[in-house]
A and B are shown apart, each in its own frame.
Chain A
Amino acid sequence: MSARCSAVAEPMLHVLAWVAIALAVANVLGVATLIYQRVRIRRRDTRRDELEAHVTPLALALLDGKEPGELDAGAQLALVDVLSRYSRLVRGAPREHIAAYFAGSAAYQRALHDLSARKRWRRTAAAFTLGDMAVPAATPELRRALHDRDREVRAAAARSLGKLQDVDAVEELTEALASATVPRLVAARALLEIGEPALVELLALLDRPDAAVRATASELVGLLGSARDAPLLIEHLSDPSAAVREQAAIALGRLGAGAATSALISALDDRVGFVRAAAAGALGAIGDATAKPVLLEVARSDSFEAAHAAAYAVLALDPEAAARSAGSVHLDEIADVARVRG
């Protein structure tokens, strides 16, 4: 028996011994790495804090148009970091001063170069940083990056084109939104940053076959457009997709489109509850008192979401009437909310 045991165990024993040695070495290396990392990172953080303390006054002065003067390599890198952060918070002349500083810098050239780096994270970081550097001349490269093979890079490029308010990128950004080659909310935020110049392309998206695209476009038209755009949105209150009808109603509310009141009142009969809820909310946002009786009716008789939205629309239209309203749990709620919130 012992002979068989040792015959079986012998090769296994050798394997185990080697595994044990490998594990012991790995453990020692693991602990050594921990210690090394701790020391290295602490030194790096201390150095970074010192440099940041040094360059922060220079960065603040640069926002007012004062050149920072000669800096060593470490300080330059720290200044790039600080200015990149400030760039997200400022507009107008301070942002132009940041752009002017970066335009001739090695950091800007390096970021442009990194847009074609082999590693995805490098390209992503470069595309993101270029938005913070605020140099308008970077936009052609960023537009090219919108077609990068990796989604993260495309998203970073889209975000930066928005930060740079690149009007020439609108078509490509709307296409990226429509084809979902960048996350829809990222593309949408970029178009919002660009603002009104994006509107024409967004209105064109309302005719796309993909319902999700039409819905997002409706939402953005509501944020960027004006009452002039109401007729097109009113048409989409009859869209085959409930999500588009919902977003069109919300958009009309955001635009405060008084001309849409009757169409929105008709939308209170939509077969889908969340569309009726959106229509009720929009009527509350538009503030046309003629909608009050029908909203009260919806608040008394419709499904939860629609009735709830209708009750809050009544509260928005006429807080005093809301405080006296009754006849459903939703109207009871707004009566009490009106009382509690004064």
Chain B
Amino acid sequence: MTTAIEVVSGITLAYFLLVNAIYLGFTATAWRRLLAHQREAKTLPLDEVLSSPLTPGVSVLVPAYNEAAGIVVSVRSLLDLRYPRHEVVVVNDGSTDDTLQRLIDAFELEPVRKALRQDVACAPVKQVYGSRRYPNLWVVDKENGGGKADAINGCLVAASHEYVCAIDADAVLEPDALLQVARPILDDPEVVVATGGIVRVINGCVLRDGRVVEVGLPKSNLAAVQVLEYFRAFLVGRVGWSSVNALLIISGAFGLFRRSLVEEIGGWDQEMIGEDIELVVRMHRRMHELDQPYRIEFVPDPVCWTEVPETLRVLSRQRRRWQRGLGQTLWVHKKLILNPRFGTLGLVAVPYFLFFEFLSPIIELLGPPFVIVAFLLGRLSFTFFVAFLVVAVLLGFLLSIAALALEEINFRRHQRSRELARLVLLAAFENVGYRQINAFWRFVAYFDLMRGRSGWGDMQKKGLGVPSV
């Protein structure tokens, strides 16, 4: 018994050391990359890209289900994006509210018999609408296919440009976001097959006409702590993975993809809960199988604002869904795990996501009790136990502060000093409680997976139509 406890305690400690060493490595990489990026940002001639006839066209894909509250504002802001050649394709995915009618009224839509591609499957399309006023707007009214993947595929079959940008209907893109996220493609169109931008938290911001006009922190601490989480995930994690061309996640809220490749691999997979991560893994896999040089890049400037959950109930659903999506993707692509044929992807990125993301709740939840038992049984000295806890908390704090500093030095979106102070305080406290409850939700997701639960659950968002703070 005591041997087992010692073994588990040892594994916990080793795991802790390894995962934090990786995080620190990522943080160091992100510092180097973002500081270089900041210097190079002054030499990005966006206006010249905007006016160039060589800039490729982009179809913006907007899957919408019961988005009546904000869909008109959202589509209008997408039509106004600064980009030389883009169209907006909205799918009304069997909404039960008046999403479609609001679009028809606002954009003077009329039914058209649009030719749709047949190479990507989606639920039956009932009608396509074109606009009298906006020749670059299409609205596809289709039956609900049971998930976001089916809805995006419904957009994809109507898209006409070489690149597609998938975004959430309730997300807000900054005016230059499309130009910025397309930049790696413009630099190297033969090699770059997909790019993703940063997703930021819109709760607490002031919105006007579908644009964020003032950045603020949410009042709720639960939402505010997610601001920090997003900094870490995007400014550290994605920058790090992108630097070794092993970026597995491009957020479903904002990603740009080469259309021909997406079609070749069959579009977004309707069976997948985490359709965004699965699509990117499939793209990696396909390009490796074709043995073609390629890159999938994260770009830190283009911003997509999105709403995060403000209640534990909704947040738990979101985190369980993310964990289920990751587990399902890893299972479907298990062939990649530790497979040298797939290079960094197979040997580093996928194993990392398996051991340090998907399986981490087991260690995070079960490890500490074993360490406590080891301490109670006298296998671990009290001083050692306390010192270990102190190191764990300080290290967690340091990683958050480093991410916060990256944001502060490079972007400074949160202008009010008291908000910065609040984020520092949250960084101190998130390691006690928030992190553990997150691990618990992700642990519960194992049982969801075993039960075959695949739904999204009700995400209850306020939407763009609701007056902002």
User: Interface residues, chain A, CB within 8 Å of chain B?
Assistant: 1-2, 5-6, 9, 12-13, 16-17, 19-20, 23-24, 26-27, 30-31, 33-34, 37-38, 41, 88-89, 121, 124-125, 128, 152, 155-156, 159, 183-186, 188-189, 192, 212, 219, 223, 304, 307-308, 311, 328-330, 332-333, 335-337, 339-342
Contact A332 B115 (CB under 8 A): yes
Q: What is the size, in residues, of chain B's interface with A at 8 Å between Cβ atoms? A: 55
What are 26 A-to-B residue pairs whose CB atoms are below 8 Å?
A: A5-B378, A5-B379, A6-B381, A16-B384, A17-B387, A20-B387, A20-B390, A24-B394, A34-B405, A34-B420, A37-B405, A37-B409, A88-B45, A121-B40, A152-B40, A183-B187, A185-B54, A188-B54, A189-B52, A212-B190, A219-B54, A308-B115, A328-B115, A329-B115, A329-B116, A333-B112
Which of B113, B135, B395 interacts with A336 by CB under 8 Å? B113
Determine if B110 and A330 form an interchain contact, defined as CB atoms under 8 angstroms apart. Answer: no
Would you give the 0/1 interface string for B23-54, flagging 1 where the beta carbon is closer than 8 Å to chain A?
00000000000001001101101011000111
- Complex Cα distance A5/B383, Å? 12
- In-complex Cβ contact of A330 among B115, B186, B420 (8 A): B115
Which residues of chain A come closer than 8 Å to B189, judged between CB atoms? 184-185
Return B420 CB to nearest CB of chain A, in Å: 6
Q: Interface SS of chain A: helix, strand, loop or mixed?
A: helix
Chain B residue at minimal CB-CB distance from A122: B39
Q: Is B426 an interface residue (CB 8 A)?
A: no
Known contacts A13-B384, A125-B39; A336 and B54 CB within 8 A of each other: no
Chain B 368-379, CB-CB to A under 8 Å as 1, else 0, gives 000000000011
Contact (Cβ within 8 A) B378 A1 = yes
Instruction: Give the distance to chain B from A42, nearest Cβ to Cβ, in Å.
Output: 8
List the B side residues contacting A27 at CB < 8 Å: 394, 397-398, 401
Query: Would B187 and A333 count as touching, CB distance under 8 A?
Result: no
Give the residue of B54, B397, B398 whose beta carbon is less than 8 angstroms from that of A189.
B54
Contact of B381 among A5, A152, A339 (CB under 8 A): A5
B426 CB, nearest partner CB in chain A, Å:
13
Q: Which of B397-431 contact A (CB under 8 A)?
A: 397-398, 401-402, 404-405, 408-409, 412, 417, 420, 424
Closest to B55 in A: A185
4 nearest CB pairs, A to B: A336-B112, A23-B394, A30-B401, A332-B113
Give 11 A-B pairs besides A152-B43, A192-B52, A333-B115 with Cβ atoms closer than 8 angstroms: A5-B381, A9-B383, A30-B405, A34-B420, A37-B405, A124-B43, A152-B40, A189-B52, A304-B118, A329-B113, A336-B130
Q: Beyond A27-B394, A121-B40, A212-B190, is A337–B405 a contact (Cβ under 8 Å)?
A: no
Contact between A156 and B43 (Cβ–Cβ < 8 Å)? yes
Nearest Cβ in chain B — how far from A150, in angstroms? Answer: 11
B residues engaging A (CB < 8 A)? Answer: 36, 39-40, 42-43, 45, 47-48, 52-55, 110-118, 130-132, 135, 160, 186-190, 378-381, 383-384, 387-388, 390-391, 394-395, 397-398, 401-402, 404-405, 408-409, 412, 417, 420, 424
A231 CB, nearest partner CB in chain B, Å: 23
The one of B55, B118, B387 that contacts A13, using a Cβ cutoff of 8 Å = B387
**In the bound complex, how far is the Cα of B53 from the Cα of A188, in angstroms?**
10
Minimum distance in angstroms from B120 CB to a CB of chain A? 12
Find the A residue at minimum CB distance from B114: A333
B395 touches A23 (CB 8 A): yes
Chain A residues in 8 Å Cβ range of B379:
1, 5
Taking a contact as CB atoms under 8 Å apart, the answer to whether B43 and A26 are in contact is no
- A residues near B388, Cβ cutoff 8 Å: 16
User: Provided the pairs A13-B383, A159-B48, A330-B115 are in contact, do residues A121 and B36 lie with their beta carbons within 8 angstroms?
Assistant: yes
| Bound Cα distance from A335 to B115, whole angstroms | 12
* Cβ–Cβ < 8 Å partners of B187 in chain A: 155, 183, 185-186
Q: State which of A16, A23, A37 has its C-beta within 8 Å of the C-beta of B408.
A: A37
Task: Give chain A residues whose Cβ lies under 8 Å from the Cβ of B190.
Answer: 212
CB distance from B83 to the nearest CB of A (A): 15
A13 to B388, CA, bound (A): 9
Q: Which residues of the partner chain B approach A184 to less than 8 Å between Cβ atoms?
A: 189
Residues of A within 8 A of B397 (CB): 27
